[in-house]
């Protein structure tokens, strides 16, 4: 007896925040959607804050509001950013403020688990969503349908496969897209600290000795570190005990927030730039880090991935009735809609990364003069703020 595959309009492969948001957006549009992902793990016992946090821009907030996920987040755990102070490595300084930009806030600092748990709760209430806690192991694309085989043995038939499976995307490899990677030879070291002085809802960033240190405001007197450090230095930082790490961060941040106490263990994430020659193939679309990987110095990777989701959902919702979801014309609309935003952020983040990681006095003079110039030009500042606000 042959078993018939389960059939869906869309199968989302990958359960990072981008994949779960994509599955929710498609299911809320009434499409029969399958999600291949684990459930949210929650915080480890005793942890006060997740060490994975994201600076989310207004575009991400708007999408999550539309999906009624933002409203479910515990407000007391959201950290607004009203100001941003950036320090060069030769006394140059830049200040961005929500007040000057006439926006309620520059970004929200949100813990990964907080959003994931709210997404999981919303997904569980979706009658058109089927959740498989399995990985995709095989996929074939035919003219009328695509098929995904799961690690649990089931086969799913679908009109569209959404590859939301991250920087090492398996879906991307199966669809034959070419990916180019430039390794920054840096690791993003993340950890959370309790600060002696109030952060004043300000995000701080120091460019220092070819590395970048950011302290982002969490609720109350806590801050979250993202230190983009050379790989070997990052390994040394991660190996330190909490007090030694706090002392290093205090020194690198010029004791701006006074004494720091490390409250979550440090974790490291290798940093690179990845470009993909196409976002779509017959019956396949890539979203999130599967489609693009950028340096976190502007805190934009997740925002970019969530904008992919918004664009894909828009194209699908507004499609002509005679087209199915895997129609190449439809998928090309999605690709065209995303090209400019992705390219712009790749150029900005890669350019800044190169400028600030170049050693030598000439490079230092150029970057600090550039910062002073931007600081004195309201138009240039406004452009940077609007790029960061998404
Ligand atoms: C240090 C650091 C700080 C950052 N800070 C910010 C920030 O402040 N703001 C911001 O916007 N962005 C930030 N980013 C970027 C952001 O983390 C990423 O862009 C985002 O997490 C990508 O999400 P994703 O869902 O696309 O991929 P991932 O989170 O990588 O999820 C992919 C998922 O797919 C699963 N998967 C893989 N293969 C399969 C398979 N075959 N079958 C099923 N599942 C599979 C994986 O297990 C994983 O769960 C930061 C990045 C770093 C490194």
Q: Which of 11, 13, 15, 16 to mutate to test the pocket of ligand 1 (most atoms within 8 A of CB)?
A: 16
pLDDT at 236 over 60: yes
- Ligand 1 atom with least separation from CA of 304: 11
Q: Looking at residue 185, what is its pLDDT?
A: 95
Where do the structural domains in the chain lie, given as residue ranges? Answer: 1-81+107-183+272-390
Query: Where does the pLDDT of residue 378 fall: very low under 50, low under 70, confident under 90, or very high at 90 and above?
Result: low
Give how far the C-alpha of residue 264 lies from the chain's centroid of Cα atoms, to the nearest Å.
20
Distance 16 CA to ligand 1 centre (A): 6
pTM, 2 dp: 0.94
Query: Where does the pLDDT of residue 390 fall: very low under 50, low under 70, confident under 90, or very high at 90 and above?
Result: low
| Ligand 1, pocket residues at CB < 6 Å | 13-19, 36, 54-55, 135-136, 164-166, 170, 188, 190, 226, 269, 288-289, 296, 299-303, 305
Q: Looking at residue 214, what is its pLDDT?
A: 96
Query: Where does the pLDDT of residue 389 fall: very low under 50, low under 70, confident under 90, or very high at 90 and above?
Result: low
Which of 130-139, 201-210, 219-228, 271-280 has the lowest average pLDDT?
201-210
Q: How many CB atoms lie within 10 A of CB 215?
A: 25
Of the candidates 271, 337, 346, the one whose C-alpha atom is nearest the C-alpha of residue 307 is 337
Give how far the C-alpha of residue 281 lies from the chain's centroid of Cα atoms, to the nearest Å.
23
* Residue with token string 């999605």: 334
Nearest-5° angle of CA 163, CA 53, CA 44?
95
Of the candidates 207, 202, 189, 203, the one whose C-alpha atom is nearest the C-alpha of residue 353 is 207
pLDDT digits (tens, 9 = 90+) for 67-103: 999 999 999 999 999 999 999 877 778 888 998 888 9
Query: Where does the pLDDT of residue 2 fall: very low under 50, low under 70, confident under 90, or very high at 90 and above?
Result: very low
Distance 289 CA to ligand 1 centre (A): 6
**Residue nearest ligand 1's atom 29 by CA:** 16
Q: Looking at residue 133, what is its pLDDT?
A: 94
Burial group, residue 153, by CB count within 10 angstroms (0-12, 13-18, 19+): exposed
**Is domain 1-81+107-183+272-390 given the CATH code 3.30.479.30 in the classification?**
no
Distance 302 CA to ligand 1 centre (A): 7
pLDDT at 202 over 90: yes
Question: Under the phi-then-psi rule, with left for phi > 0, alpha for psi from -120 to 50, and beta for the rest, what region is 299?
Answer: left
User: Which residues are within 8 A (CB) of 287 and not within 5 positions of it... i.e. 6 or more apart?
Assistant: 18, 19, 22, 162, 163, 164, 305, 308, 309, 312
Contact 57, 390 (CB under 8 A): yes
Contact 248, 233 (CB under 8 A): no
> What's the average model confidence in pLDDT over 177-206?
96
Distance 166 CA to ligand 1 centre (A): 5
In the structure encoding, which two tokens stand for residue 209, read together?
A: 């000795």
C-alpha span between 247 and 225 (Å, rounded): 13
C-alpha span between 167 and 145 (Å, rounded): 26
**Residue nearest ligand 1's atom 43 by CA:** 135
Q: Which of 302, 305, 345, 348 to mutate to test the pocket of ligand 1 (most atoms within 8 A of CB)?
A: 302
C-alpha span between 81 and 227 (Å, rounded): 18
Bridge partners (DSSP) listed for residue 203: 84
C-alpha span between 263 and 223 (Å, rounded): 10
**Residue nearest ligand 1's atom 3 by CA:** 296
C-alpha span between 101 and 289 (Å, rounded): 29
């Amino acid at each position: 007896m042959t078993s018939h595959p389960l059939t869906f309009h869309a199968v989302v492969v990958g359960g990072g925040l981008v994949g779960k948001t994509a599955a929710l957006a498609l299911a809320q549009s009434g499409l029969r959607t399958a999600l291949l992902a684990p459930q949210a793990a929650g915080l480890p016992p005793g942890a006060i804050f997740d060490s994975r946090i994201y600076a989310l821009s207004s575009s991400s907030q708007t999408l999550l509001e539309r999906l009624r996920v933002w409203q479910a987040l515990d407000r007391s755990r959201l950290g607004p950013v009203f100001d941003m102070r950036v320090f060069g490595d030769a006394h140059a300084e830049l200040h961005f403020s929500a007040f000057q930009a006439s926006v309620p806030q520059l970004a929200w600092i949100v813990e990964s688990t907080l959003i994931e748990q709210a997404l999981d709760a919303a997904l569980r209430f979706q009658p058109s969503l089927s959740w498989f806690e399995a990985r995709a192991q095989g996929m074939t694309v035919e003219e009328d349908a695509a098929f995904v085989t799961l690690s649990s043995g089931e086969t799913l038939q679908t009109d569209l496969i959404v590859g939301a499976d991250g920087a090492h995307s398996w879906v991307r490899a199966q669809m034959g897209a070419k990916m180019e990677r430039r390794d920054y030879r840096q690791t993003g070291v993340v950890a959370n600290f309790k600060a002696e002085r109030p952060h004043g809802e300000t995000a701080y960033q120091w460019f220092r000795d070819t590395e970048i240190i950011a302290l982002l405001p969490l609720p109350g007197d806590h801050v979250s570190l993202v230190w983009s450090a050379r790989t070997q230095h990052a390994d040394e930082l991660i190996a330190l005990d909490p007090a030694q790490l706090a002392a290093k961060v205090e020194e690198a941040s010029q004791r701006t927030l006074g004494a720091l106490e490390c409250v979550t263990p440090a974790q490291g994430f290798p940093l690179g730039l990845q470009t993909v020659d196409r976002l779509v193939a017959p019956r396949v679309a890539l979203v999130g880090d599967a489609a693009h990987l950028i340096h976190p110095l502007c805190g934009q990777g997740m925002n970019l991935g969530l904008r992919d989701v918004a664009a894909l959902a828009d194209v699908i919702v507004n499609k002509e009735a005679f087209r199915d979801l895997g129609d190449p014309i439809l998928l090309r609309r999605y690709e065209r809609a995303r090209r400019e935003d992705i390219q712009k952020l790749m150029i900005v983040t890669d350019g800044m990364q190169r400028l600030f990681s170049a050693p030598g006095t000439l490079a230092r003079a150029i970057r600090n003069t550039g910062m002073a110039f931007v600081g004195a030009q309201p138009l240039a500042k406004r452009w940077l703020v609007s790029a960061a606000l998404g």
